[in-house]
């Protein structure tokens, strides 16, 4: 009769595992640990097992292994009082399991049980805590990556959509001036306004979809624009009624992608600021050159409007959005970005970035 008690915990484990979706693994582990301790007490009352009862011992060892596995799962998925209570319950049940074969008599027997329980439970607890630590680190890493990606998308929204919208405003202003005197040019301007608006809407729609997407279904981002797209960028700026742009940029393709993309964004933001703050500027110089192992980006206008507020030339731009946000990006690449009044008048943006990374 006493040996039949060895089947009680396996039955509890089977029923509990089949109903874990409803009650949870932690509850199943707690009930199984309590059942194991109850079986031990029942064996004390019904009569201890003999060493010759091998099948009962084998079932008991499988019982201990199952309980320890449940303890690992519990500590991995949950922290707090519930998991601590389960750990104490299963640890106590494992420590008392040898007493199903021997009568507890004196401090030596209690010390033996304590050592057996510690040898079983302590490594299990450490494994469970280690796995939970790995899971927490992975979740933090994923969350940090998602925050960085969403911040990147916010920068895209500011840099590219704001540039397109400011171009639409400039073209609309020029179109109103030409509407009476030169309807043909005005119609061409309004056509470009439509094209720019469609491009801005596409960028805005894509950014919003990315911000709303869960991580599992985030669509792939397209290739980042680089130095090769500077020509079309400056041409669109000049066609929108802005100043004449004199571009001097390298044609080689061995510039690192991150550096080239950052250089492109600096030019976009600088031209947008020219359109906003210096609408009367006649000439904008855009120069992108390799200086040894560094890439230098310089955007300078000839003035013709109220000067934007900002740091003096030579001061490093940090934090915030716009040029300040780009300053943080350039600094992360190991370079510097400065913005201020040029000596010959107008406004100047200058950035220097290493070609080999930080």
Structure tokens at 54: 């091998």
Beta strand 336-341 pairing with 294-301:
unpaired
Instruction: For 195-215, write each residue's pLDDT tens digit.
Output: 767 777 776 776 667 666 655
Task: For 201-255, give the secondary structure using H, E and C.
Answer: HHHHHHHHHHHHCCHHHCCCCCCCCCHHHHHHHHHHHHHCCCCEEEEECCCCCCC
Specify whether the CB–CB gap between 238 and 245 falls below 8 A. Answer: yes
Rounded (5°) CA angle 214-202-150 = 35
Model confidence at 1, in pLDDT bands (50, 70, 90)?
A: low
Give yes or no for a contact between 346 and 302, defined as CB atoms under 8 angstroms apart.
yes
Give the number of residues written for the chain: 358
pLDDT at 314 over 90: no
Mean pLDDT of 85-104: 85
> Quick one: pLDDT band at residue 193, thresholds 50, 70, 90?
confident
Cα of first residue to Cα of last residue in the chain, in angstroms, is 74
CA torsion angle for 7, 12, 15, 21 (degrees, to 10)? -150
Tokens read off for 296: 């230098």
Average pLDDT over residues 91-109: 80
- Residue 188 has a pLDDT of 75
Per-residue model confidence (pLDDT) at position 107 = 78
Look at residue 220 and tell me whether its pLDDT is greater than 70.
no
DSSP SS3 for 349: strand
Structure tokens at 235: 């041409």
pLDDT exceeding 70 applies to what percent of the chain? 78
CA dihedral sign of residues 350, 274, 283, 170:
positive
Q: What is the pLDDT of residue 159?
A: 63
Q: What share of the chain is helix, strand, coil (3-state, %, to 5)?
A: 65, 10, 25
Nearest to 29 by CA among 121, 136, 112: 121
Name the burial class of residue 114, with classes exposed (0-12), middle (13-18) and buried (19+) by CB atoms within 10 angstroms of its CB.
exposed
Q: What is the pLDDT of residue 133?
A: 92
Tell me the percentage of the chain whose pLDDT exceeds 90: 17
* Distance of alpha carbon 219 from alpha carbon 182, whole angstroms: 45
Q: Measured between alpha carbons, how far is residue 276 from residues 167, 250, 292, 318 in Å?
A: 9, 27, 34, 21
As a whole number, the mean pLDDT across the chain is: 79
Query: What are the backbone dihedrals phi and psi of residue 23, each rounded to the nearest 5 degrees, phi first?
Result: -100, -20
pLDDT at 295 over 80: yes
Copy the structure tokens of residue 171. Answer: 């073209």
- Closest by CA position to 236, among listed 278, 284, 201: 284
d(CA 172, CA 194): 10
Among 172-186, 267-281, 332-346, name the one with the lowest average pLDDT: 172-186
Domains of the chain, first to last: 3-103 (no CATH), 223-358 (3.30.565.10)
Convert the pLDDT of each residue in 10-67 to its tens digit.
898 899 889 988 999 999 999 998 998 888 888 888 777 776 667 777 888 888 899 9
Per-residue pLDDT at 173 exceeds 70: no
pLDDT value at position 70?
92
pLDDT at residue 313 tops 50 = no
Torsion 270-275-278-283 (CA) sign:
positive
103-107, 256-260, 289-293: least confidently modelled range: 103-107
């Amino acid at each position: 009769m006493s040996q039949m008690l060895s089947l009680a915990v396996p039955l509890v484990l089977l029923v509990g595992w089949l109903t874990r979706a409803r009650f949870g693994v932690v509850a199943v582990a707690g009930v199984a640990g309590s059942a194991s301790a109850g079986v031990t007490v029942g064996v004390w009352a019904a009569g201890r097992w003999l060493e010759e009862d091998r099948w009962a011992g084998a079932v008991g060892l499988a019982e201990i292994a199952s309980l320890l596995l449940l303890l690992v799962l519990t500590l991995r998925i949950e922290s707090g009082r519930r998991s601590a209570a389960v750990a104490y319950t299963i640890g106590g049940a494992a420590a008392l399991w040898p007493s199903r074969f021997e009568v507890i008599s004196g401090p030596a027997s209690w010390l033996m049980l304590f050592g057996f329980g510690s040898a079983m439970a302590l490594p299990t607890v450490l494994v469970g805590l280690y796995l939970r630590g790995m899971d927490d680190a992975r979740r933090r890493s994923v969350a940090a990556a998602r925050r960085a990606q969403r911040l990147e998308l916010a920068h895209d929204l500011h840099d590219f959509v704001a540039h397109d919208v400011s171009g639409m405003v400039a073209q609309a202003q020029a179109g109103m001036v030409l509407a009476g005197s030169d309807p043909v040019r005005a119609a061409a301007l309004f056509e470009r306004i439509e094209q720019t608006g469609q491009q801005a809407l596409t960028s805005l729609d894509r950014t919003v979809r990315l911000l709303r997407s869960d991580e599992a279904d985030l669509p792939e981002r397209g290739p980042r624009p680089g130095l090769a797209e500077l020509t079309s960028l400056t041409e669109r700026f000049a066609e929108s009624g802005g100043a004449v742009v004199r571009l001097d940029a390298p044609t080689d393709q061995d510039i690192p992608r991150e550096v080239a993309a950052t250089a492109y964004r600096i030019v976009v933001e600088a031209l947008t600021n020219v359109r906003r703050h210096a609408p009367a500027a006649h000439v904008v110089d855009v120069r992108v050159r390799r200086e040894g192992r560094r890439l230098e980006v310089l955007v300078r206008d000839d003035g013709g409007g109220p000067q934007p507020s900002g740091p003096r030339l030579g001061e490093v731009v940090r934090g915030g959005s716009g040029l300040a946000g780009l300053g943080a990006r350039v600094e992360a690449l190991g370079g510097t970005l400065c913005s201020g009044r040029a000596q010959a008048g107008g406004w100047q943006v200058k950035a220097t970035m290493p070609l080999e990374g930080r």
